[in-house]
Amino acid sequence: MEQPLFKIREQGRYGFMDREGRVVIEPQYYHADDFYNGFSRVRLNDKLVPLDPLGRLYLRQFFNYIGYFEEGLARVQLVRRWGYIHEQGALAIPIQFEEAADFSGGLAAIKLGDGYGYTTAEGELAIAPEFDWAGDFRAGLAPIRFEGGCGYIDRSGVLQFELPYAHCSAFQQQVASVVHEGKWGLVNRYGRLLLPPRFDYSPDISNGDFFEGMAIVRSEGLYGYLNDLGELVVEPRYTAAGDFSEGLAPVGINRRFGYIGKQGDTLIPLQYQNAGVFSEGLAPVCLRSTWGFIDAEGFRAIPGKYEWALPFKNGLARVGVAGRWGYINRDGEMVWQETT
């Protein structure tokens, strides 16, 4: 298993270090993404290029856009049309589509002509482009839209069930969100409506995105939580809410933040100015305008002395100190810090 790499910044340029703070890829790019599925994306000649953990660039030609690798392929755009490259950087599926989505479940949604359908990883048309829109395959089904409603098809393109709604989303485990007249609800993979559309749909929040079996809901400007059975577990009563992680979710009322459990009980009092999600047993919190970390019992694990702090990932957390980036370990020790 490859050791994770962490993005670093020096003099406005980005590179990567290992967990011990050793620079592996020198800061030299004006843009770099975190590694995902074995690759980062860096900006070269104003174009995105895949970068591997050894610092090697993988691209045979420049494209207007390169997506992330999913199932070994990444979507690319040349002028106004799309195709796919493989992990060695060469074209795997020729540039030909009006639109293209990431691969999921062995297929990718594409637009060809006026309709949406699906292509295989070999570039063969698996499902004819006959829909008004098409989404990702999850749990063996994919959402599609047609005149008069939406529904779900199987991998052979057969419609399994349809719904009289404006939009259907991809499945998460056994449930998916559906949208109608600015509200969203839930359906299971057998077409049973678990929850009629009733919660506010908004592009700036998650709408039926589940984390640990719980999804944030919003009603009349307040936030609560729904489980994946369609049951409202926490009535909307918070002015801010974050996703569940490690059994806890950050919530806020009038700029006071704390944490609740999955039954809605307050496990860590609302006493912070801001709070992030738990990761690797710790969560970043802001108290008296400085950020530190607490454990799941609410005890201070790392003192608050940072301008900002992100959740821990692979043993390190990125923090801000005097306008500079830094990385700390779980003991609060600075592993690496930006010098200029």
CA atoms within 13 A on the CB side of 258: 17
Name the DSSP letter for residue 89. Answer: S
pLDDT of 81-136, one tens digit each? Answer: 999 999 999 999 999 999 999 999 999 999 999 999 999 999 999 999 999 999 99
Low-confidence ranges of the chain (pLDDT < 70): 1, 203-205
State the maximum Cα–Cα separation within the chain, in Å, rounded to a whole number. Answer: 59
DSSP string, 38-79: TBEEEEETTEEEEE-TTS-B--SS--SEE---BTTEEEEEET
Residue 273 confidence (pLDDT)? 98
Residue 286 confidence (pLDDT)? 98
Helices vs. strands in the chain: H and E counts, helices first: 0, 37
Residue 127 confidence (pLDDT)? 98
pLDDT of 14-35, one tens digit each? Answer: 999 999 999 999 999 999 999 9
Residue 1 confidence (pLDDT)? 54
SS3 152: strand
pLDDT of 301-321, one tens digit each? Answer: 999 999 999 999 999 999 999
How far is residue 38's CA from residue 5's CA, in Å, rounded to a whole number? 10
Domain ranges of the chain: 138-238, 240-328
Determine the topology of domain 138-238 in CATH. Answer: Lipocalin (2.40.128)
